[in-house]
């Protein structure tokens, strides 16, 4: 059943994938010229995951949700395949980006630098977190909900900056906040070299993804189409 | 009223669904195998809501709803594999061709009959390579019908299937539905507000109004059992008004409907009252008390 749903969505949205694939290839090829490929890999993977998260909202656009939900599939199946599809596309995006970055003739990237396990693990973690964060919003509210959620995060960020400035704490300045985020990301990235840390982090990601999945199933099963 | 739950295709018992501003309440009906049931009612009566409940597109607040003996919510995949559906506004991805839609839907139904689908496209004059987005409303309904009729469904659930169709195809569709239940031993539930469609095709009629079930009975029982009562205003006292299922008062007298023609004849025996057999449209019209 999951295979049928995957085939259905990839057939229905194939043109969207193809249209974005060219952009994706261009970005990956361009990133081959610059040093420090990690950011490009992560951004590419997150973008691909976001694309699959929003795919379900295309049915809202064409008012085809009633048709899909009338097919002989359970709502749990529908949610399961969306998470699966998001991760599959994310994995494919990571490998595709890495491949293009080293394959283009003008590449400045060393293969071992691009195919760094820590970078790829970090990219997959970013994919999982993107899906975990975005999928419940989209399943419940459509694409608009996702953008509202992202907007909400922006507002939260602004509020925290304003609040920090109001109470004059050291970390409330924008530069220090960004620096702190950078250090956190670098620290996580470096720590992924430690097997135990990697296992712990991946377990945490898996737990978050599972919690998101359960929430999505709960939302979809209660949704009136 | 409750037949053997193993043999009935559809059973609704006390089903209810509440929305803001509208409530479907205490809907109970039974659809036996090999029967065409027409679900009729004015706009906003709850017909589409009943169909959505059957397809588990919306969740019921109360009651029990079973198809083929199984709960439609708990066993939805297995139940839906045996149901062919046509929504009031068929919606598929506009860039897909008709043939492509067939191939896509086919993988979900183990009993899909590709040859039949091709034949139906030919009979319905549907070009396989035409994109769904370029079809007229009526052609989209035909596509949905072709998809619904192509996997040997044991139950067809059709929401206003004749809406948007030309009169020739409408008649043809109703004949085709009758033939389908004969060939497949299937049952059909279709909603409509066009009473002529029911009179032509339906064996059973369920009338819904204001979210409530007015009656669910065989067509013959409805036609034979109801009465259209016409009489002078002087006869229309509070007792008569309460007894009739619906009444309209005009300058020359009143017209009302009763669900018991025998009782109507006894009640108005010897009076200046005309008692006739009503059409379905009369029943629908006068029970709303507005014509």
Nearest to A24 by CA among A120, A94, A87, A86: A94
Q: Let me know whether B170 and B193 are in one domain.
A: yes
- Domain end marker among B193, B218, B243: B218
- The answer to whether residues B233 and B197 belong to one domain is no
- At B273 the pLDDT is 92
Q: Are residues B212 and B146 in the same domain?
A: yes
| The pLDDT of residue B68 | 94
Across the range B108-116, mean pLDDT stands at 94
Could you tell me the pTM of the whole model? 0.80
Task: Please state, for a pLDDT cut of 70, what percent of chain B lies above it.
Answer: 97
Number of other residues whose CB lies within 10 A of the CB of residue A107: 17
Nearest by CB to residue B55, choosing from A12, A70, A74, is A70
Average pLDDT value for residue range B219-235: 91
Do residues B88 and B231 both lie within one domain? no
How far apart (Å, rounded) are the C-alpha atoms in residues B250 and A181? 79
Average pLDDT score over residue span B110-121: 95
B81 contacts chain A (CB < 8 A):
yes
Is B27 within the bounds of a domain? Answer: yes
Interface test with B, best of A70, A78, A80, A221 (most B CBs within 10 A): A70
For A106, list phi and psi in degrees, rounded to 5.
Answer: -90, 15
Residues B29, B56 share a domain: yes
Closest CA to B181 of B34, B6, B42: B34
Pairing of strands B70-71, B62-67: antiparallel
Q: Where are the alpha helices (DSSP H) in chain B?
A: 47-54, 76-80, 98-106, 114-123, 137-148, 167-184, 195-201, 219-225, 238-243, 261-267, 280-287
B194 in the same domain as B125: yes
Among B184, B218, B252, give the residue marking a domain's end. Answer: B218
The residue with greater pLDDT, A38 or B40, is: B40
Share of chain B above pLDDT 90, in %: 56
Per-residue pLDDT of chain A (225 residues; tens, 9 = 90+): 777 777 777 766 666 666 666 666 666 666 655 556 677 777 778 877 877 777 766 666 666 778 888 999 898 988 898 898 888 888 888 888 888 877 777 777 777 777 777 777 888 888 898 889 888 888 877 777 777 777 776 777 777 777 766 665 555 566 777 777 777 777 776 666 667 777 877 888 899 999 999 999 998 888 888
Nearest CA-CA distance, residue B201 and chain A, Å:
25
pLDDT at B70 over 90: yes
The average confidence (pLDDT) of chain B is 89
Q: How far apart are CA B155 and CA B134, in angstroms?
A: 29
Supply the pLDDT for residue B290.
44
**Domain of B90, in residue numbers:** 10-218
pLDDT tens-place string over residues B23-33 = 999 999 999 99
**Spatial contact of A24 and A90, defined as CB atoms under 8 Å apart:** no
Between CA B12 and CA B28 the distance in angstroms is 5
For residue A73, the chain B residues in CB contact (below 8 A) are: 77, 80, 108
- B191 — pLDDT class (breaks 50, 70, 90): very high
Query: For position A185, what pLDDT does the model report?
Result: 72
Q: Do residues A40 and A101 lie in contact, with contact meaning Cβ atoms separated by under 8 Å?
A: yes
Number of domains in chain B: 2
Domain co-membership, B234 together with B95: no
Same domain? B188 vs B260: no
Question: Do residues B174 and B281 both lie within one domain?
Answer: no
Contact B107 A77 (CB under 8 A): no
Chain B hits for A10, Cβ within 8 Å: none
pLDDT computed for residue B1 by the predictor: 40
Pairing of the two strands B22-31 and B10-19: antiparallel
CA nearest neighbour of B53 among A222, A79, A224, A59: A224
Q: Does B140 share its domain with B275? A: no
Residue written as tokens 């691909």? Answer: A48
Alpha carbons B95 and B203: distance in angstroms, whole number: 39
Q: Are the CB atoms for B106 and B114 separated by under 8 Å?
A: yes
What pLDDT, on the 0 to 100 scale, is given for residue B189?
95
Minimal CA–CA distance to B104: which of A80, A68, A117?
A68
Q: For helices A195-221 and A174-191, give the axis angle rounded to 10 degrees.
A: 110
Nearest to B92 among A64, A74, A77 (CB): A64
**Do the domain assignments include residue B170?**
yes
* Residue among A64, A73, A74 minimizing CB distance to B108: A73
CB distance A21 to A13 below 8 Å: no
Is residue B173 domain-shared with residue B85, that is, in the same domain? yes
Q: Is residue B3 part of a domain?
A: no
B 251-270 → A contacts, CB under 8 A = none
Question: Do residues B193 and B43 make contact, with C-beta atoms less than 8 angstroms apart?
Answer: yes
Element (H, E) at B129: none
In a domain, residue B5? The reply is no
Angle at B49 between CA B166 and CA B67, to 5 degrees: 95
Using CA atoms, how far apart are residues B98 and B112, in angstroms rounded to an integer?
15
Last residue of one domain, picked from the residues B167, B189, B218? B218
Q: Where are the domains of chain A?
A: 2-221
Lowest pLDDT segment from A74-88, A139-153, B7-21, B249-263? A139-153
* pLDDT at residue B172 tops 50: yes
Structural tokens at position A194: 């430690």
In a domain, B68, yes or no: yes
Residue B277 has pLDDT above 80, yes or no: yes
Q: Do A77 and B77 touch (CB under 8 A)?
A: yes
How far apart CA A9 and CA A89 sit, in angstroms, is: 12
ipTM above 0.85, yes or no: no
Asked if the Cβ–Cβ distance from A64 to B91 is below 8 Å, we say: yes
């Amino acid at each position: 059943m999951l295979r049928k749903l995957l085939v259905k969505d990839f057939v229905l949205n194939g043109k969207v994938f193809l249209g974005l694939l060219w952009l994706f290839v261009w970005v990956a090829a361009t990133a081959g010229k610059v040093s420090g490929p990690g950011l490009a890999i992560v951004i590419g993977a997150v973008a691909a995951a976001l694309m699959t998260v929003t795919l379900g909202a295309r049915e809202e656009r064409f008012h085809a949700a009633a048709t899909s939900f009338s097919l002989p599939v359970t709502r749990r199946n529908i949610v399961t395949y969306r998470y699966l599809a998001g991760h599959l596309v994310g994995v494919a995006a990571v490998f595709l980006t890495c491949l293009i970055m080293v394959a283009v003739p003008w590449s400045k990237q060393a293969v071992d630098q691009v195919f760094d396990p820590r970078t790829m693990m970090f990219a997959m973690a970013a994919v999982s977190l993107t899906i975990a964060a975005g999928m419940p919003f989209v399943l419940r509210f459509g694409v608009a909900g996702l953008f509202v959620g992202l907007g909400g995060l922006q507002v939260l960020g602004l509020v925290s900056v304003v609040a920090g400035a109001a109470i004059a704490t050291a970390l409330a300045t924008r530069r220090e906040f960004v620096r702190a985020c950078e250090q956190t990301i670098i620290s996580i990235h470096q720590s992924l070299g430690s097997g135990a840390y990697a296992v712990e982090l991946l377990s945490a990601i898996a737990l978050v993804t599972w919690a998101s999945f359960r929430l999505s199933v709960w939302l979809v099963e209660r949704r009136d189409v | 009223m409750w037949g053997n739950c193993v043999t009935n295709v559809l059973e609704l018992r006390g089903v209810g669904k509440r929305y803001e501003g509208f409530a479907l309440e205490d809907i109970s009906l039974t659809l036996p195998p090999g029967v065409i049931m027409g679900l009729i009612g004015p706009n906003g009566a709850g017909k589409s809501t009943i169909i959505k409940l059957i397809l588990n597109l919306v969740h019921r607040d109360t009651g029990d709803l079973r198809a083929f003996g199984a709960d439609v919510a708990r066993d939805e995949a297995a139940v839906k594999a045996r149901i062919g559906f046509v929504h009031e506004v068929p919606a598929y991805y506009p860039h897909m061709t008709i043939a492509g839609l067939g191939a896509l839907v086919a993988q979900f139904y183990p009993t899909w009959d590709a040859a039949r689908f091709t034949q139906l496209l030919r009979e319905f004059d549907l070009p396989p390579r035409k994109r769904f987005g370029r079809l007229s409303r009526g052609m989209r309904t035909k596509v949905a019908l072709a998809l619904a009729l192509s996997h040997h469904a044991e139950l067809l659930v059709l929401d206003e299937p004749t809406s948007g169709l030309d009169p020739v195809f409408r008649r043809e569709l109703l004949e085709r539905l009758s033939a389908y239940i004969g060939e497949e031993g299937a049952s059909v539930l279709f909603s409509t507000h066009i009473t002529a469609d029911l009179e032509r095709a339906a064996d059973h009629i369920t009338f819904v109004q204001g979210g409530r079930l007015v009656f669910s009975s065989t067509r013959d029982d409805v036609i034979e059992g109801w009465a259209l009562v016409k009489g002078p205003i002087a006869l229309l006292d509070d007792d008569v008004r309460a007894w009739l299922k619906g009444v309209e008062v005009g300058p020359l007298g009143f017209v009302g409907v009763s669900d018991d023609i025998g009782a109507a004849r006894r009640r108005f025996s010897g009076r200046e009252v005309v008692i006739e057999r009503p059409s379905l449209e009369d029943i629908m019209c006068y029970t709303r008390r507005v014509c």
